[in-house]
Structure 1
């Protein structure tokens, strides 16, 4: 169930992190590593994956938590089906149940838990070559890139007057408890006039969220009166 948060002229909707509990990703341990092994897995319809605690990515070794790292193999058909259902832009802001079984078709469950994907597509090819997950146990603080979706463009007064919508940020990074991760943030721009803008700190979210930005006064969108040949670049 979604919740609405009203800010300064905006309505922000955060979708429940539990909306995709019915998706369970099946995986088996991957003992061998290397580019040839990964290529063979992909040729056979599988996708190499890894899961670990996000604390393993901390730059300061003193802040790193036990890794719980496991090399895995997932079924490409299942992953593509899940991504199609969830929609790719929201895949890495949605938690899923992960079951690690002893082998293909095995009923022996080695480990299970909730995970958050943090990488799905290859930056160069756009293809799903590898999957990277972090454990998303309840109470764990995770850093998440949350997509921003803008609503109400068709009713926006500024656009009706001939203005143009300038989207500056399509993603906001938050640190939040795993059980409260929003799949997306919807910003209602239906009341914005020309020269109005929505700033990062205008967005009201769950009190446990921490916006990871050096400048919360930066705009995420604005209505400009004139179309610029070189508009302010969109940031992610």
Structure 2
């Protein structure tokens, strides 16, 4: 993405309303089974059986290979997102609180998920996706909404981490930009992303093309210098 903050006549926006999805925990319990590591073929076989290979690790537990019901897990993530607390029960034993650390996907196929054990009484750092809502007036005047950040990093107790944060761009006109510091962020979490980072802006097509070309040239020059 190009640096719109370097363009002339760009004015900072006043504080804008930010909408946040509910952070209430649903105490979802995910049932898992131990699995043996037998090479890549075993993972393929599990996926054909409707199971999703997984691993859980974290403080106080050994790294353990698991499998979970693929449909149940994927439907839950689509509904609640990637930042919710999950209660993981392995082989019918007492559940432990975990969060999704990483998901491996190839196109529309879910391949593997990493789960990490957490302490619900200790803050964690996580990236939360941003959801841009509304129609920027500048786009009705020939401008293009240029989204530069799709997530921000926050720190807070697991139950306070939102599934996503929705940002209203309905007041964004041509040559205006929205910075991290321009929006009020959710209570009970600390924002770790730098305040002067640009989230989104509305620019003219010619400006976008010129800056994209400049960015491509800079990358090419850097590649040549390091080769």
TM-score band (shorter)? 0.7 to 0.9
State whether structure 2 residue 22 is matched by structure 1 residue 16. Answer: yes
Cα distance per residue 1:123-145 (max 9 Å; x no partner) = x5452111111224322322222
Residue range with higher mean Cα deviation, 34-43 or 224-233:
224-233
State the Cα distance separating 1:231 from its structure 2 match. Answer: 5.2
C-alpha distance 127-231 of structure 1, shift in aligned 2 (>3 A): farther
SS at match of 1:93: coil
C-alpha distance 79-231 of structure 1, shift in aligned 2 (>3 A): farther
CA distance, structure 1, for counterparts of residue 56 and residue 63 of structure 2? 6
Counterparts in 2 of 1:65-214, with a 5 A limit? 65-86=59-80, 90=81, 92-101=82-91, 109-122=92-105, 124-153=106-135, 156-213=136-193
Cα distance per residue 1:79-138 (max 9 Å; x no partner) = 23324434xxx3x2233232222xxxxxxx32313322122232x545211111122432
SS at match of 1:159: helix
State the Cα distance separating 1:165 from its structure 2 match. Answer: 0.8
TM-score, normalised to structure 1's length?
0.73
CA distance, structure 2, for counterparts of residue 73 and residue 230 of structure 1? 48
Which of 181, 184, 203 is matched with 1:224 structurally?
Answer: 203
TM-score, normalised to structure 2's length?
0.75
Q: How many residues align?
A: 200
CA distance, structure 2, for counterparts of residue 128 and residue 162 of structure 1? 39
Q: Which runs of 5+ in 1 are unaligned?
A: 1-6, 54-64, 102-108
Residues 165 and 224, structure 1, Cα contact 8 Å, conserved in 2: yes
Residues 157 and 191, structure 1, Cα contact 8 Å, conserved in 2: yes
Residue range with higher mean Cα deviation, 175-184 or 29-38:
29-38
Structure 1 partner of 2:51: 46
C-alpha distance 150-84 of structure 1, shift in aligned 2 (>3 A): closer
Residues 84 and 158, structure 2, Cα contact 8 Å, conserved in 1: no
Could you say which structure has the larger radius of gyration? 2
C-alpha distance 30-8 of structure 1, shift in aligned 2 (>3 A): farther
Q: What is the RMSD computed on CA atoms of the aligned residues?
A: 2.6
Q: Which runs of 5+ in 2 are unaligned?
A: 1-12, 216-227
Residues 121 and 130, structure 1, Cα contact 8 Å, conserved in 2: yes
CA distance, structure 1, for counterparts of residue 22 and residue 202 of structure 2? 29
